[in-house]
Amino acid sequence: MKVIKLEKVDSTNNYAKLNIENFADKTIIHALSQTSGRGRLNRSWVDLGEGNLFMSFVLKPSDCFNEIYPNITQYLSVTLCKVLESYGLKPEIKWPNDVLISGKKIAGILSETVMSGNVLKGIVVGIGVNLNSNNDDISSIPDKIATSLNLEIGKDVDLDVFMNELTEEFFKNYDAFLGNGFEFIKNDYINRNCFLNKELNVQIFNNVETGLAKSINDRGELVLLKEDKELVLTIGDIL
């Protein structure tokens, strides 16, 4: 595993994608600050200043796409929960991969696939974790109630220590996850969920589906019960 350290970059995901040919499997791009951090669907990820985590995993598990690769984001959300639990917190997962503390967003995960024709050049899995912020900055985040680790535990967090813990935990079971897929983490994922058995509105692009969150299947998809019919959702945002 190699770590590439950058002072400042537009987005660690952009940097990883642009230079993907030059990076070996399991390379990490770590930036101390991001000027244009991205979320999904053109949303942005706010840089809350010094001491917060912005990193991307460059993964090259094979040169053809496998249906379990999209589940890497869920694998990373479970990994993050385990690290946050070691700080004495009780994180919860909101499908598919949001990690919340007492309902507040502490991290975001963005996975992007780089293809050239049918050849998979690599997968870039970016994660931002709020480690050190203050109440003013955190409340300026648009559209979401957010938090950061220091505000939850009442003391500053060491960025390098946290990043090493996250990286170690990620690679500890990564190969086993690739061999087994979502089922390998299904229990760990479900044990931390905050959405099952609740009535949900789920936005899928411009459409909103409403129903009871019945289960998570072996592929990590959300099974929504809508008027006696089952809807199986692969992507979406729980509103």
Binding site for ligand BT5 (CB under 6 A): 11-13, 37-41, 43, 45-46, 48, 54-56, 105, 108-110, 126-128, 130, 141-144, 146
Q: Using the minimum distance from each CB to ligand BT5, give the nearer residue, 46 or 151.
A: 46
* CB of residue 203 to ligand BT5, shortest distance in Å: 11
| Burial annotation 127-159 (CB, 10 A radius, 16+ → b, else e) | bbbbbbbeeebbeebeeeebbbbbbbeeeebeb
| β-pair type (207-216, 222-226) | antiparallel
Residue of this chain nearest to ligand BT5 (CB atom):
108
Instruction: Give the Cβ contact number of residue 235 at 10 Å.
Output: 13
* CB of residue 58 to ligand BT5, shortest distance in Å: 12
Contact 126, 55 (CB under 8 A): yes
* CB of residue 44 to ligand BT5, shortest distance in Å: 6
Cα(53)–Cα(107) distance, integer angstroms: 9
Contact 28, 4 (CB under 8 A): yes
* CB of residue 12 to ligand BT5, shortest distance in Å: 4
Alpha helix positions (H), the chain: 12-18, 72-85, 135-139, 149-153, 159-172, 174-180, 186-190
* CB of residue 94 to ligand BT5, shortest distance in Å: 10
Cα(69)–Cα(79) distance, integer angstroms: 16
Q: Using the minimum distance from each CB to ligand BT5, give the nearer residue, 110 or 184.
A: 110
Contact 185, 209 (CB under 8 A): no
Q: Using the minimum distance from each CB to ligand BT5, give the nearer residue, 20 or 184.
A: 20
Cα(87)–Cα(229) distance, integer angstroms: 41
Q: Using the minimum distance from each CB to ligand BT5, give the nearer residue, 28 or 109.
A: 109
Q: Which residue reads 């692969």 in tokens?
A: 234
Q: Using the minimum distance from each CB to ligand BT5, give the nearer residue, 10 or 183.
A: 10
* CB of residue 123 to ligand BT5, shortest distance in Å: 13
Q: Using the minimum distance from each CB to ligand BT5, give the nearer residue, 125 or 216.
A: 125
